[in-house]
């Protein structure tokens, strides 16, 4: 099965390809200009999946994901990638998060919603989450985005201190991706 992934994030694409089962090939779709104007992770994932599916003409999955910090009322949420402004780096986004927390630790979660679509219709959506704590200083050099600040209590390390395999086994994206794979595997006739 070839499944097109609607992302221009090379790190995200590599993570998903590494986790794909032998019966699946994940191919990049695009890039296409598909604005994310929804007010939730689900709305953004669905609109992106439909936009890419119409352009590719095949089975596409798209995700919207981000960090919800409890002390900040759920910020940065759907604005996680652009928290410090359009074109901001991961380091810029993390620095703004730390400034807004003003030296306080907070519980938080990474959230991911994956949407699968064919041209003109959504086939399914899948949500994953990982609960943790935002630290007052970065730890680790792996991962991307907010990983160096996201402490995962179950393993006693930040996501940036985990191997790629460990991170995907516990991450929001890993949970959503495995739910999607299980759903697709049960429909081999519909999605060969």
- Cis amide leading into 31 (omega within 30): yes
> What's the Cα-to-Cα distance from 3 to each of 56, 122, 138, 162, rounded to whole Å?
11, 14, 35, 27
User: Does residue 36 contact residue 44 with C-beta atoms inside 8 Å?
Assistant: yes
State the maximum Cα–Cα separation within the chain, in Å, rounded to a whole number: 54
User: Minimal CA–CA distance to 49: which of 32, 66, 69?
Assistant: 32
- Which amino acids are annotated catalytic? 64
């Amino acid at each position: 099965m070839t499944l097109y992934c609607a992302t221009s994030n090379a790190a995200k694409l590599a993570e998903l390809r590494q986790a794909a089962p032998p019966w699946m090939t994940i191919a990049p779709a695009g890039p296409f200009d598909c604005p994310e104007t929804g007010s939730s992770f689900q709305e953004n994932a669905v609109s992106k999946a439909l936009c890419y599916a119409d352009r590719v003409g095949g089975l596409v999955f798209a995700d919207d994901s981000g960090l919800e910090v409890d002390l900040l009322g759920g910020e940065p949420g759907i604005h996680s990638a652009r928290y410090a402004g359009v074109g901001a780096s991961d380091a810029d986004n993390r620095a703004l998060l730390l400034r807004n927390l003003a030296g306080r630790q907070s519980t938080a979660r990474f959230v991911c919603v994956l949407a699968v679509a064919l041209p003109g219709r959504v086939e399914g959506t899948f949500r994953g989450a990982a609960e943790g704590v935002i630290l007052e200083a970065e730890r680790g050099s792996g991962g991307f985005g907010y990983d160096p600040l996201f402490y995962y209590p179950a393993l006693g390390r930040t996501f940036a201190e985990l191997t790629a395999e460990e991170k995907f086994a516990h991450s929001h994206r890993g949970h959503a991706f495995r739910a999607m794979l299980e759903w697709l595997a049960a429909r081999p006739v519909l999605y060969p």
